[in-house]
Amino acid sequence: MIADGVEDEEKWLAAGIAGLQQNAFYMHRALDSNNLRDALKYSAQMLSELRTSRLSPHKYYELYMRAFDELRKLEMFFKEETRRGCSIVDLYELVQHAGNILPRLYLLCTVGSVYIKSKEAPAKDVLKDLVEMCRGIQHPVRGLFLRSYLAQVSRDKLPDIGSEYEGDADTAVDAVEFVLQNFTEMNKLWVRMQHQGPAREKEKREKERSELRDLVGKNLHVLSQIEGIDLDMYKDSVLPRVLEQVVNCKDEIAQYYLMDCIIQVFPDEYHLQTLDVLLGAFPQLQPTVDIKTVLSRLMERLSNYAASSADVLPEFLQVEAFAKLNNAIGKVIEAQPDMPILGVITLYSSLLTFTLHVHPDRLDYADQVLGACVKKLSGKGKLEENKATKQIVALLSAPLDKYNDIVTALKLSNYPRVLEYLDTETNKVMSTVIIQSIMKNKTRISTADRVEALFELIKGLIKDLDGAVLDEVDEDDFKEEQNSVARLIQLLHNDEPEEMFKIICTVRKHILGGGPKRLPFTVPPLVFSSLKLVRQLQGQEENPFGEEESTTPKKIFQLLNQTVETLSNIPAPELALQLYLQCAEAANDCDLEPVAYEFFTQAFILYEEEISDSRAQITAIHLIIGTLQRMHVFGVENRDTLTHKATGYSAKLLKKPDQCRAVYACSHLFWVDDQDNVKDGERVLLCLKRALRIANAAQQMSNAARGSTGSVTLFVEILNKYLYFFEKGNPQINVAAIQSLIELVTTEMQSDSSTPDPAADAFFASTLRYIEFQKQKGGALGEKYEPIKA
């Protein structure tokens, strides 16, 4: 049925074109033979094809364009005709003899164009006549095209100032009058389309109307091109009259399109100077008009205008642009009670962008906007609508983008209040946006107050909000969020220790509520941040003013102790252990023996009580050994206790090779190169021997269990430890011990039961090469090596 309609339409169009071409052919012939009577007859017949009611606007346009081309030729002919002595006035009458109105008016406009050019009558009179006569076409589509033709032929003939058709003093008024009248009539026809025809074709009609809208809008464009319209005229007559038509037509499509048109075609400075008039029209529009888009575009344009030159900014202040816009938005929202919340937010969002561009210094404006937004949102609860929340994110991101500085945004008291209305998910998104902004701009947030405010803003990431659903959270997303929080914590810094300490306390306060899933992400950066502060203080004289309250490493360590403890409760013992060790090392550097001891104790307790996984144990024990080795703060007794414990743990590891490695690592605990009081050669040897025993045991176990001995790697590793201490001058490590170890390895390797292990072979070979190398290098070390036979 519909397909048939389209096909029919094609047929009708084809028939129309054929008829038009045929008559155009006869018309050309008449033109060629200068036969005016025939030319008029055939042109009228040709134009009669435009009388059709069967074509959609789209197809009609095609037909119209063909007629248009022909009319250009006819116009040339008329011009020549007047040069041949035919009076233009007679010609103007002659074409009006045509019986059918549509051809008559097309011809009249065509002759009218020549008439104006001839200057035998003032342009304004001819134009006035034409625009009046066109009233005869009341059919919307035909009328719109006819008037569009009139607009087209007249646009270069307006009696504008500076034009060759310029008239008397009020010439621009005449030009405006003409365009406005044509515009008004066209708009009326356009609006009327909506109400003609059956209701079920409403959608089709609206589509057709939108195809025609540019014909109407063109008039506004022409209007904007009239030189003679100065600001006063625009303000006093042009704009009010255009708006009057827009408001009075009471048509949704027209109002939306035309308001947008006005905003786009007239210069920004005019908009600025006529803001009250322009804005005054908005609340009068139909409640269904999409005002938010139009108004947003206006604000966008004004923003760009403000950005274009600093010179125009005073104008904005002078006309109180912000107050007017703000006021207008309020009124529009009031006038359209059914406006979805999305619209409201979009409007405020645009206003915010506007004020940020135009009045970057007026934070209070921005805050006002946010406040107004909060007011509108209040009582609506959390926003469910996806688009609306997105728009809020845009709204809240705007100040961040503008100032590149969260600090400024933090001064906006209404900022967090808007955030309240976001659902958890969006809240997180917004928090991420904020953090990203900080990181991108490397914003320094350097006071505890601001940190407090900031964390209040991003609390969606910091803790579970009420009623939040915990499941459904993507693991990766979660990690990413928390990592960004971690990065943020690292960024908070103040050179002033007092303030930094406050910052740390603030952050701590916030993150501790984060729950077991967040703490592993947030505690480490806080710890390291604190340690950084410790290191900073460490360089200074302690307590330079002797004030009790001032920040001391001790105080920080106390805080750290409590902080890390939260991790062990989660539980995240491995992480806690690492952090304890870090703290211990820092305490060591601060010469705080008891503190360091305490941290170690905590670490050991964790090791004993919480870390049961053998692999974790291995890692932990090596960390402990490594850290302990570097500690210099401990007295002999404490150190003994700790090393003893560590060695003990080492020997109790599950797998023999792990035991072996831990034990030989422990040897370092007794020999610290730069600490003369820790050079206990004997205990080093003991450790190494013990390691050897364990290695042996491992070989035997392997032999017993699998029928072949394991790799000799352990032996080679121990050999390397021997060589290390040998070089460092441990008297207990002598050539003989090394020699026998080399032989042991050699024997083991040659044993039948040994499993071939190329890596171990290579390791051993390169160890031997090292010995040879040292020998050849000579010097004191070379001499020492000399007796060893590889």
**Residues near another protein, by CB under 8 A:** 51, 93, 96-97, 99-102, 104, 132-133, 135-140, 142-143, 192, 196
CB of 99 to another protein, least distance (A): 6
Q: Which of residues 139 and 362 has its CB atom nearest to another protein in the complex?
A: 139
In terms of CB distance, is 102 or 454 closer to another protein? 102
| Residue 555, both tokens | 């105080």
Alpha helices in 363-474 (DSSP H): 363-377, 386-403, 406-410, 415-419, 424-441, 448-457, 459-462
What minimum distance in Å lies between the beta carbon of 93 and another protein?
6
Q: What three-state secondary structure class fits 709?
A: strand
Spatial contact of 559 and 508, defined as CB atoms under 8 Å apart: yes
Tell me the closest approach of the beta carbon of residue 72 to another protein, in angstroms: 23
Q: How many residues does the chain have?
A: 790
User: At 338, which amino acid appears?
Assistant: D
Task: Select 131 or 606, whichever has its Cβ closest to another protein.
Answer: 131
Q: How far is the CB of 51 from another protein (least distance, A)?
A: 7
696 neighbors 663 (Cβ within 8 angstroms): no
Q: At what angle do helices 713-728 and 758-777 cross, to 10 degrees?
A: 20
3-state SS class at 671: strand
Q: How far is the CB of 137 from another protein (least distance, A)?
A: 5
User: Which phi and psi (to 5°) does residue 414 adopt?
Assistant: -85, -10
Is the Cβ of residue 139 or residue 444 nearer to another protein in the bound state? 139
CB of 142 to another protein, least distance (A): 6
**Which residues are paired to 754 by β-bridges?**
709
Q: Which is nearer to another protein, 37 or 83 (CB)?
A: 37
Q: Are 463 and 514 in contact (CB under 8 A)?
A: yes
Q: 216 with 274: CB under 8 angstroms?
A: no
DSSP letter (8 states) at residue 465: P
- By C-beta, is 11 or 195 nearer to another protein? 195
- Assess contact for 530 and 555: CB atoms under 8 A: no
* DSSP assignment letter at 199: G
Tokens, residue 485:
């929080």
Closest CB to another protein among 103 and 343? 103
Closest approach, Cβ 139 to another protein, in A, equals 3
**Which residues are CB-neighbours of 378 under 8 A, at least 6 positions away?**
none
How is residue 754 annotated by DSSP? B
The structure tokens listed for 130 are: 């034409």
Whole-number minimum distance, CB 244 to another protein, in Å? 15
Element (H, E) at 663: helix 656-666
CB-neighbour burial class of residue 548 (10 A; exposed 0-12, middle 13-18, buried 19+):
exposed
What is the CB-side half-sphere exposure of residue 647 using CA atoms within 13 A? 19
As a whole number of angstroms, the distance between CA 16 and CA 13 comes to 5
d(CA 621, CA 95): 108
Shortest Å distance, C-beta 243 to another protein: 20
Least distance between another protein and beta carbon 124 (Å): 17
When the beta carbons of 93 and 227 are compared against another protein, the nearer one is 93
Backbone angle region of 550, left / alpha / beta, with phi > 0 → left and psi within -120 to 50 → alpha: beta
**With respect to another protein, which residue has the nearer C-beta, 133 or 433?**
133
Q: Between residues 193 and 246, which has the closer beta carbon with respect to another protein?
A: 193
d(CA 671, CA 681): 7
Read off the amino acid at residue 644. H
In angstroms, the CA 559 to CA 543 distance is 18
**Nearer to another protein (CB atom), residue 184 or residue 397:** 184
Asked whether 612 and 571 are in contact (CB, 8 A), the reply is no
Residue placing its CB nearer to another protein in the complex, 97 or 204: 97
Give the nearer residue to another protein in terms of CB position, either 135 or 777: 135
Q: Residue type at 779?
A: G
* Phi, psi angles (nearest 5°) of residue 709: -75, 155
Only one residue has tokens 């984060």, namely: 514
| Least gap, CB of 269 to another protein (angstroms) | 37
Burial 130-145 (b: 16+ CB within 10 A, else e): bbebbeebebbbbbbb
- Cα-flanking dihedrals φ and ψ of residue 306, to 5°? -60, -35
For another protein, the closer CB: 38 or 761: 38
| CB 119, min distance to another protein, A | 23
Q: Minimal distance in Å, beta carbon 286 to another protein?
A: 18
3-state DSSP of 282-294: HHHCCCCCCHHHH
Contact in structure between 518 and 462 (CB atoms under 8 Å): yes
Q: How far is the CB of 242 from another protein (least distance, A)?
A: 20
Nearest CB to another protein, comparing residues 193 and 409: 193
For the bound state, the minimum distance from the C-beta of residue 353 to another protein, rounded and expressed in Å, comes to 42
